[in-house]
Structure 1
Amino acid sequence: MRFIVGLFLGVLLAGCEQHVAPPLDQQLYIWQRQWTPAHEPALRDSRNDFSTLRVLALQGFAGARWSRARVDPALLKADGRPLIAVIRLDGQLKSLDQEQVTAQILQVVADWQAQGLTLRGIEIDHDAGNARLAAYAEFLKHLRSALPPSLPLSITALPAWLGSAQLPALLQSADSSVLQVHAVSDPRLGLFDPDQALKWAKAWSRTTEKPFYLALPAYGVALLADDGAGPVVESEVQLERGGQRQELLADPLLLSQLAKALRDNPPMHLAGLIWFRLPLANDRRAWSLTTLRAVARGDQLASELGVTLSEHDGLYEIGLDNPGNLDKAWPARITLQARDCAGADALAGYSLQQSPDLLTFTRLREGRLPAGGQRAVGWARCAIIDQGGSHVDP
């Protein structure tokens, strides 16, 4: 009888036991084709929050054209995090020459190893249409047989592949997959939809029995006027064409909510999140690293935009600062109470309207002040500027 009671209590306690899901792994894409000195501080400051680096290594284009990313092996060796080389194969390629593509990939592996880099995997990023998934699956099978058995192979995957009869064969050769849930439809509809992303993640978890990751956006793009072949997208590199640009930016607040939902109730087989992309200090269309780290950690997000004044012999330098952890759009208008101003002017991005007791700076173009950042908006030579009388309009 005592044994039965003990057994019953054990079952009861097991049912009440809290099963805490392990934290989701956080990784980073490095997508710059040309490495610069700005990579060193970006790598250093991201090291504590992101476990693995997925580095653009090679791109294949139509016409058998190949482009190597010029990475800095010394920086990667000093960084010490696991490396996955990403091979981008243009989705517009009419077919994949198995022998040629495989030879290019094996050469990347050999070259990186010769530079002292230890690869922990290869990722193939190929946006194949559903009609070409069977051929893509054959290529992956061929590539898997050519790669060292100890080198994991992953693939970037599209939500459009869900429901395809070819998907099981496609996933068979890969050790893991990375489901891309941003910029997957008409960009005019937006860069990212968190509700749709969560639905896709749950659907993918029912499709694969292997680990998978979600690729999430930490960047923005600009849409230029339609040239007849669809909207033109401008990303890291500015295009040499005029016209107005419609800026689209992934919202850190929405991504933070999605990340929390995934941490609290992760879909089956979800191994982690991969953020696109590592932001450099001069990357004008990416979140600041401060904001990206806060989102990845699950920190409360807040921006604290304020006016700063620096005065010397009656000359005031007028600026903005953002001591919070959330990037903030430049304010539309800044007004300052001032008296006896002999001169004043605005700096790039703002115009100035001046009245006897008021300075008004009006935004001329869109911009963002990164978390922890500062920028000057103008100057004035006045008897006094009342910082307590300043006002910032969103």
Structure 2
Amino acid sequence: MSAIYLLRRALLFSLALLCGCQQSTAPPLDQQLYIWQRQWTTAHAEALAQSRADFSTLRVLALQTYPQGGWRRAQIDGALLQRDGRPLIAVVRLDGQLKHLDPVDTTARILQMIADWQALGLTLAGVEIDHDAGTARLPAYREFLLGVRQALPASLKLSITALPAWLDSPELAALLAAVDSSVLQVHAVSRPELGLFDPVQARHWAERWSRITRQPFYLALPAYGIALLPGEGGAPLVESEVPIERVGQRRELMADPQQLATLASQLRAEPPPHLAGLIWFRLPLKGDRRAWSLTTLGAVARGEQLHSRLALNLSNQQGLYDIVVSNDGNLDGTLPQRVTLAVSQCVAADGLNGYAVQQTPGQLSFSRLRDGRLPAGAERTLGWARCTHIDQGGSHVFP
């Protein structure tokens, strides 16, 4: 057997291996964003602009109905969405506590919403129905979805928000066959006191879902927090975007970016069958106190290493110093517990924004009075001091 023949066989074998590897490589997971604010503000423009590079599609709360309050439209900025140009999916939220779904009225309202959005110059890619139907009501829900599917223009995809509680229902496969895709929500689906999110449970649910569905599905992941307040009868009240006017100590729960980053990395490396992407809830606006910063959300979406980096910044105007701490990392962090300054001849000082100051010879110490977050890229003024000199090199920030 000639050396040329052996060389040719080796090359063909190598090419076959290469082709096999290329065929088995999974496509990258798509990443999308929910926009869940019912009233849009000027802050949406900056948030949308900063999110464009990392998130392909916007799923926008459009229409909502309540058991007592009836129907409400989200007050979107159509011109802003038109300029943004990304694919749009309008989300219709049907409260799970509704005793009855009127399919004719609901479908008519969905079609009217679509027409109104089109009149604003918006082109929809699809409609998502978000309805926390009880397991026993899944057959009726499927019939409702088939009616909506028939009424929608053929160009629009129909998707649903889905719950892990449906996994044990024999009706689930038929329900999923009635829509083009599903969004499995894996956050805020257990009792609030058990926490907001469990990454191990989320991965388990995704694996089970992938064995039932034959259509693409997405995972809805949390990038926000909630607060629990004491409620009557032992069940806690949940405070999210809208403050609750109630006296009582709040227990803050925030989705952990490190946990979500690990889960997203695992899903990219070994995606379950039919998993098409991740959808993050929700687009954060500047000053949103119960959401990750867009800096942290983008870093998680890109798979970057996460880190907080606290830095001390002093500004001096004729002996009057402002003491400012900043987070120069890409991970939202907590405000420092204490900041000490090496000083000379201070005649006055005071703490601000939840900090108190204590003065000893040659030192000022600013101590945190209550917990607080310092988002990535943000800064907080801790206080001021009138001194002859502050030695920044001899000052320390204690996380």
Is the shorter-chain TM-score for this pair beyond 0.5, marking a shared fold?
A: yes
Equivalent pair of 2:177/2:214 in contact (CA under 8 Å): no
Mean alpha-carbon deviation: is it higher for 103-112 or for 329-338?
329-338
Judged with a 3 Å threshold, the aligned counterparts in structure 2 of structure 1 residues 229 and 140 are, in CA distance, closer, same or farther, namely farther
* Structure 1 residue identity aligned to 2:246: R
| Distance of 2:234 and 2:141 partners within structure 1 | 26
Tell me the residue number matched to 1:346: 351
Instruction: Say if 2:211 is the partner of 1:206.
Output: yes
Mean alpha-carbon deviation: is it higher for 216-225 or for 141-150?
141-150
Choose the corresponding residue for 1:246, options 248, 251, 263: 251
Q: Could you tell me how far 1:75 is from its partner in structure 2?
A: 0.1
| Distance of 1:290 and 1:337 partners within structure 2 | 32
Instruction: Say if 2:263 is the partner of 1:258.
Output: yes
Instruction: Say if 2:286 is the partner of 1:284.
Output: no
Root-mean-square deviation (Å): 1.8
Q: How is 1:159-308 mapped onto 2 (pairs within 5 angstroms)?
A: 159-228=164-233, 230-308=235-313
State the identity as a percent.
65
Instruction: Say if 2:29 is the partner of 1:24.
Output: yes
Unaligned runs of 5+ in 1: none
| Distance of 1:126 and 1:357 partners within structure 2 | 62
Mean alpha-carbon deviation: is it higher for 131-140 or for 67-76?
131-140
| Distance of 2:350 and 2:381 partners within structure 1 | 11
Tell me the residue number matched to 1:62: 67
Q: What is the SS of the residue equivalent to 2:176?
A: helix
Tell me the residue number matched to 1:148: 153
Tell me the residue number matched to 1:384: 389
Q: Could you tell me how far 1:120 is from its partner in structure 2?
A: 0.2
Q: Could you tell me how far 1:109 is from its partner in structure 2?
A: 0.8
| Distance of 2:311 and 2:130 partners within structure 1 | 42
Q: What is the SS of the residue equivalent to 1:206?
A: helix
Judged with a 3 Å threshold, the aligned counterparts in structure 2 of structure 1 residues 83 and 359 are, in CA distance, closer, same or farther, namely same
Tell me the residue number matched to 2:96: 91
Instruction: Say if 2:342 is the partner of 1:337.
Output: yes
CA displacement, residues 59-94 of structure 1 (integer Å, 9 cap, x when unaligned) = 011147001000000000000000000000001111
| Distance of 1:200 and 1:79 partners within structure 2 | 34
Q: What is the SS of the residue equivalent to 2:232?
A: coil
Tell me the residue number matched to 1:74: 79
* Structure 1 residue identity aligned to 2:63: L
| Distance of 1:125 and 1:200 partners within structure 2 | 18
Q: How many residues align?
A: 393
User: TM-score, normalization: structure 1?
Assistant: 0.96
* Structure 2 residue identity aligned to 1:76: L
Q: Could you tell me how far 1:20 is from its partner in structure 2?
A: 2.6
Tell me the residue number matched to 1:112: 117
Q: Could you tell me how far 1:384 is from its partner in structure 2?
A: 1.9
CA displacement, residues 137-162 of structure 1 (integer Å, 9 cap, x when unaligned) = 11111111111122100000011110
Tell me the residue number matched to 1:375: 380
Mean alpha-carbon deviation: is it higher for 154-163 or for 223-232?
223-232
Choose the corresponding residue for 1:316, options 321, 332, 335: 321
* Structure 1 residue identity aligned to 2:231: D
| Distance of 1:152 and 1:321 partners within structure 2 | 44
* Structure 1 residue identity aligned to 2:16: A
Tell me the residue number matched to 2:135: 130
Q: Could you tell me how far 1:206 is from its partner in structure 2?
A: 0.6
* Structure 2 residue identity aligned to 1:58: L
User: TM-score, normalization: structure 2?
Assistant: 0.94
Mean alpha-carbon deviation: is it higher for 278-287 or for 329-338?
329-338
Mean alpha-carbon deviation: is it higher for 129-138 or for 117-126?
129-138
Q: Could you tell me how far 1:35 is from its partner in structure 2?
A: 0.3
